[in-house]
């Protein structure tokens, strides 16, 4: 995979939409192209969170273990989604397990490498934080709706 | 002879022909006029008042195919006295029907556009006739996307039909549940999370939305942020009803009566009231 190809993939991913070339070039140095077969575990709860992923094709289930219910899926992510932000937040450990539901292609970004670059280059750091905050906000909204049990609906 | 529904306040007797259990508390009933008359025509999105003799009446959307009016189909979730009584009925039992009432989904206005159907929980029932209509008139519409969310796999309605729709190449059907066991290969997450990924052109799409109000509020927000014009978003509302024909004022919503001016409303027209509590 050439640097040009990786840079193109990053540019095309919605997560980095509108990011300037200088920042993209810094990101390319921390990026690699990865694929997971259906059923393959991408990371496990409690493991060190070194990488995060931008999904290009396929679907990934985010799972946890619920007492009395066994393993449950709490969310499915797909094309255009970001998988994982534990690499950014201490103690840098995954809180959930992620598994490819079908053949999945993604860009992996090295969190340790990125943390270093963000500390040095605050424009890159701000751009990344802004984008990740947006993802976290969306996931928080979705979780709130799940908690509300929106389908039950008591009529006014 | 067509079933006599000429006096909108007098229920006509309909006989229960078939009952299908959809979920632990929801049943689909097939009814025919008890006197051997023909069924009555209806449009997708309309509702009837169903009368469980001796108990009371409830407004229930017609969930069958508008092209097959002979059989009247309703999908009923047992939540209180009337709906529980209706769900307890057996084959051959009779109930009273008044209707069809209310307006309908804008199927004509949507001709030439993409159509996105967003349903939550029991909200798929009033939208199923719209989908039947779209499929019978497939060539008149662009892409059709169906997005359907329920709490769990056990809460999904019309499972055999959902499977069939999912296998059709001229229809995109995305189903999502709030949680599922790890063996599940489908989608998990609230219904709104599917909207950004659904395949339709937001600038040339008509959205039909039905579900509990909180779900519709968030769905509308998501559709708008994808670029769908509020003029092209239609939602079906529910309120307590009594007469069903605009007399009693029970179902007032702002300056409208849901039974007569609705239940389907263009979002642009009700936007000022929709987010307000107590209306
Ligand atoms: C236009 C229209 C179309 C409708 N279409 C359908 C349909 O196709 N299928 C269907 O099952 N229902 C539908 N409903 C809702 C249905 O009319 C009510 O569930 C019914 O009137 C409840 O009457 P009940 O006597 O059984 O319960 P009630 O005694 O009135 O209520 C019992 C309990 O259930 C709660 N409750 C009432 N309504 C609902 C509700 N909708 N969802 C969850 N909890 C509720 C009440 O707050 C109360 O706690 C529709 C309503 C309208 C206005
Ligand atoms: S139910 Fe009587 S006015 Fe609507």
The SS3 assignment for B180 reads strand
Find the length of chain A: 156
Measured between beta carbons, the chain B residues lying within 8 angstroms of A79 are 197
Q: Give the pLDDT score at A155.
A: 44
Tens of pLDDT, residue by residue, chain A (156 residues): 677 788 889 999 999 999 999 999 999 999 999 999 999 999 999 999 999 999 999 999 999 887 777 788 989 999 999 999 888 888 999 999 999 999 999 999 999 999 999 999 999 999 999 999 999 998 898 888 888 877 876 443
Q: Is this complex scored with an ipTM above 0.90?
A: no
Q: Domains in chain A: how many in total?
A: 1
Q: Give the pLDDT score at B255.
A: 85
Across residues B119-132, what is the average pLDDT? 96
The architecture (CATH level 2) of B12-101 comes to Beta Barrel (2.40)
Whether the CB of A59 is below 8 Å from some CB of chain B: the reply is: yes
The verdict on a CB contact (< 8 Å) between A151 and B121 is: yes
Q: Quote the percentage of chain B above a pLDDT of 70.
A: 96
For residue A137, what is the domain's CATH number? 2.60.120.10
Which residue in chain A has the smallest CA separation from B156?
A: A151
Which residue in chain B has the smallest CA separation from A97?
A: B182
Looking only at the bridges linking them, the beta strands covering B205-210 and B114-120 are: parallel
Across residues B244-253, what is the average pLDDT? 89
Cα separation, A1 vs A10, whole angstroms:
13
Q: Give the pLDDT score at B279.
A: 45
Between B213-226 and B267-274, two packed helices, what is the crossing angle to 10 degrees?
120
Cα separation, B107 vs B268, whole angstroms:
17
The domain locations on chain B are 12-101, 114-236
Whole domain around residue A50: which residue ranges? Answer: 3-155
Q: Give the pLDDT score at B276.
A: 62
Looking only at the bridges linking them, the beta strands covering A59-66 and A31-36 are: unpaired
Q: Domain B114-236 falls in which CATH fold?
A: Rossmann fold (3.40.50)
**Out of A99, A142, A152, closest to residue B193 by CB:** A142
What residues contact residue B139 under an 8 Å CB cut-off, 6+ apart? Answer: none
- C-alpha separations of B96 from B26, B87, B239, B240 in Å: 19, 14, 21, 19
- CB of residue B87 inside a 6 A radius of ligand 1: no
B153-192 pLDDT, tens digit each: 999 999 999 999 999 989 999 999 998 888 888 899 999 9
Q: Give the pLDDT score at A77.
A: 95
Q: Give the pLDDT score at A1.
A: 63
B34-49 pLDDT, tens digit each: 988 888 899 999 999 9
Interface with A, mutate which of B181, B193, B237 (most A CBs under 10 A): B193
Interface with B, mutate which of A73, A101, A140, A154 (most B CBs under 10 A): A73
């Amino acid at each position: 995979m050439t640097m040009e190809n990786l840079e193109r993939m990053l540019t095309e991913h919605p997560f980095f939409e509108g990011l300037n070339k200088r920042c993209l070039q810094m990101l390319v140095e921390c990026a690699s192209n990865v694929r997971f077969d259906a059923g393959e575990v991408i990371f496990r709860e409690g493991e060190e969170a070194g990488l995060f992923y931008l999904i290009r094709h396929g679907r990934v289930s985010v799972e946890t273990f619920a007492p009395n219910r066994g393993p449950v899926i709490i969310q499915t992510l797909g094309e255009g989604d970001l998988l994982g932000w534990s690499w950014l937040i201490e103690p840098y450990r995954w809180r959930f397990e992620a598994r490819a539901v079908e053949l999945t292609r993604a860009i992996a970004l090295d969190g340790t490498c990125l943390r270093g670059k963000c500390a040095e280059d605050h424009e890159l750091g701000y751009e990344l934080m802004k984008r990740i905050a947006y993802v976290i906000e969306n996931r928080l909204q979705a979780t709130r709706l799940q908690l509300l049990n929106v389908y039950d609906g008591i009529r006014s | 002879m067509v079933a006599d529904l000429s006096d909108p306040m007098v229920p006509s007797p309909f006989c229960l022909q078939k009952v299908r259990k959809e979920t632990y508390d929801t049943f689909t009933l097939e009814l025919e006029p008890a006197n051997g008359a023909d069924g009555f025509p209806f449009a997708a999105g309309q509702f009837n008042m169903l009368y469980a003799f001796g108990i009371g009446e409830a407004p229930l959307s017609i969930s069958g195919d508008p092209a097959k009016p002979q059989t009247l189909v309703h999908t009923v979730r047992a939540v209180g006295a009337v709906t529980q009584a209706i769900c307890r009925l057996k084959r051959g039992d009779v109930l009273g029907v008044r209707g069809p009432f209310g307006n309908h989904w804008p199927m004509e206005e949507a001709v030439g556009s993409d159509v996105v159907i967003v349903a939550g929980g029991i909200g798929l029932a009033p939208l199923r006739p719209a989908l039947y209509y779209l499929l019978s008139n497939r060539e008149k519409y662009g892409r059709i996307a169906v997005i359907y969310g329920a709490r769990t796999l056990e809460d999904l309605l019309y499972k055999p039909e959902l499977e069939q729709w999912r296998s059709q190449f001229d229809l995109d059907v995305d189903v999502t549940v709030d949680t599922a066991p790890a063996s599940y290969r489908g989608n998990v997450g609230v219904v709104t999370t599917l909207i950004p990924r659904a395949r339709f052109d937001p600038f040339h799409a008509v959205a039909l939305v039905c579900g509990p109000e909180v779900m519709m509020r968030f769905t509308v927000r998501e559709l708008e942020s994808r670029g769908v014009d509020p003029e092209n978003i239609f939602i079906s509302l529910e309120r307590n009803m009594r007469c069903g024909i605009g007399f009693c004022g029970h179902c007032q919503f702002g300056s409208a009566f849901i039974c007569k001016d609705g239940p389907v409303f263009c979002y642009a027209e009700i936007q000022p009231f929709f987010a307000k509590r107590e209306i």
